């Protein structure tokens, strides 16, 4: 990466970590994806139950394979395809996990977390259920405000639809058309304004790189 670009990313990452901690989240800085992976794994107690939200950032870390092959009770939402009642049951069990690991669609400069989901299995446990939530995000997720977060989510929806192979109009057009189809991935939107209700429950690792969508 360009040295000046990396410097700017470091500045952005450290600033948003400071903001998130003021909003009663437990945020930390990671210089690289590998550093973030090490930090993430150090937060999870072996033998605990772990759920995961869909995330290209986590995919790049190889977290699914680590959880499958480690000493964890992993609620493996990826073990069976296509979407079926067994997967829905895994999503339900994930609400009771000791840890939820996930990414986020957007983080405002004011420290709000904004997310849109297909099924709700990611946004619901981010809000309530698992005892611990660990969010990993690159600096590309930082936006000016909530309106900018909604725009970002709309802009990346076609890429996420294509990534998870959903048959939606945006996969053909390359842009959101606010569709009304069964495979639509934009069904549930949440804003987490702060972490004050259960202080320390939501932990956020900010990476000084552009990672994921």
49-62 tens-digit pLDDT: 999 998 889 999 99
In which element (H, E) is residue 10 found?
helix 3-22
Q: Across residues 36-65, what is the average pLDDT? A: 94
Contacts of 22 (CB under 8 A, 6+ apart): 111
For residues 166 and 185, is the Cβ–Cβ distance under 8 A?
yes
Q: Output the domain CATH number for residue 88.
A: 3.40.50.10420
Tell me the average pLDDT of the chain.
Answer: 93
Residue 212 lies in a domain: no
Instruction: Supply the pLDDT for residue 70.
Output: 85
CA distance 75 to 107: 26
Residue 30 lies in a domain: yes
Collapsed DSSP state (helix, strand, coil) of residue 57: helix
Instruction: Supply the pLDDT for residue 31.
Output: 97
Residue 198 lies in a domain: yes
Q: Which residue has the higher pLDDT, 213 or 105?
A: 105
Percentage, residues of the chain above pLDDT 90: 73
Residue 91 lies in a domain: yes
| Domain coverage including residue 152 | 3-207
Residue 213 lies in a domain: no
Instruction: Supply the pLDDT for residue 46.
Output: 92
Q: How confident is the model at residue 83 (pLDDT cuts 50, 70, 90)?
A: low
Instruction: Supply the pLDDT for residue 80.
Output: 65
Q: Across residues 81-108, what is the average pLDDT? A: 88
Q: How confident is the model at residue 86 (pLDDT cuts 50, 70, 90)?
A: confident
Instruction: Supply the pLDDT for residue 157.
Output: 87
Contacts of 168 (CB under 8 A, 6+ apart): 158, 161, 179, 181, 183, 184, 185
Instruction: Supply the pLDDT for residue 82.
Output: 60
Instruction: Supply the pLDDT for residue 185.
Output: 86
Q: Across residues 138-151, what is the average pLDDT? A: 98
Residue 46 lies in a domain: yes
Q: Of the candidates 58, 60, 89, 57, which has an alpha carbon nearest to the alpha carbon of residue 76?
A: 89
In this predicted structure, the answer to whether residue 149 has a pLDDT above a threshold of 80 is yes
Residue 189 lies in a domain: yes
In this predicted structure, the answer to whether residue 44 has a pLDDT above a threshold of 90 is yes
Please state the domain count of the chain: 1
Q: Which residue has the higher pLDDT, 65 or 54?
A: 65
Q: Which of 4-13, 121-130, 181-190 is predicted least confidently?
A: 181-190
Q: Which residue has the tokens 């550093």?
A: 35
Residue 127 lies in a domain: yes
Q: Which of 8-22, 34-48, 179-193, 194-208 is predicted least confidently?
A: 179-193
């Amino acid at each position: 990466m360009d040295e000046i670009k990396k410097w700017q990313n470091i500045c952005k990452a450290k600033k948003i970590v400071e903001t998130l901690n003021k909003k009663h989240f437990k945020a930390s800085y990671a210089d690289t994806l590998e550093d973030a992976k090490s930090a993430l794994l150090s937060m999870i107690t072996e033998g605990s139950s772990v759920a995961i939200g869909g995330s290209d950032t986590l995919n790049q870390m190889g977290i699914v394979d680590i959880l499958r092959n480690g000493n964890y009770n992993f609620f493996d939402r990826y073990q069976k395809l296509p979407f079926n009642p067994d997967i829905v049951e895994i999503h339900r069990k994930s609400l009771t996990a000791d840890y939820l690991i996930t990414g986020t669609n957007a983080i405002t400069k004011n420290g709000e977390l904004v997310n849109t989901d297909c099924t709700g299995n990611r946004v619901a446990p981010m809000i309530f259920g698992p005892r611990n939530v660990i969010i990993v995000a690159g600096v590309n997720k930082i936006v000016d405000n909530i309106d900018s977060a909604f725009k970002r989510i709309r802009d990346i929806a076609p890429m996420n639809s294509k990534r998870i192979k959903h048959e939606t109009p945006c996969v053909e057009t390359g842009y959101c058309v606010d569709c009304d189809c069964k495979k639509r991935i934009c069904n549930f939107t949440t804003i987490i304004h702060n972490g004050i209700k259960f202080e320390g429950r939501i932990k956020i690792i900010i990476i000084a790189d552009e990672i994921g969508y």
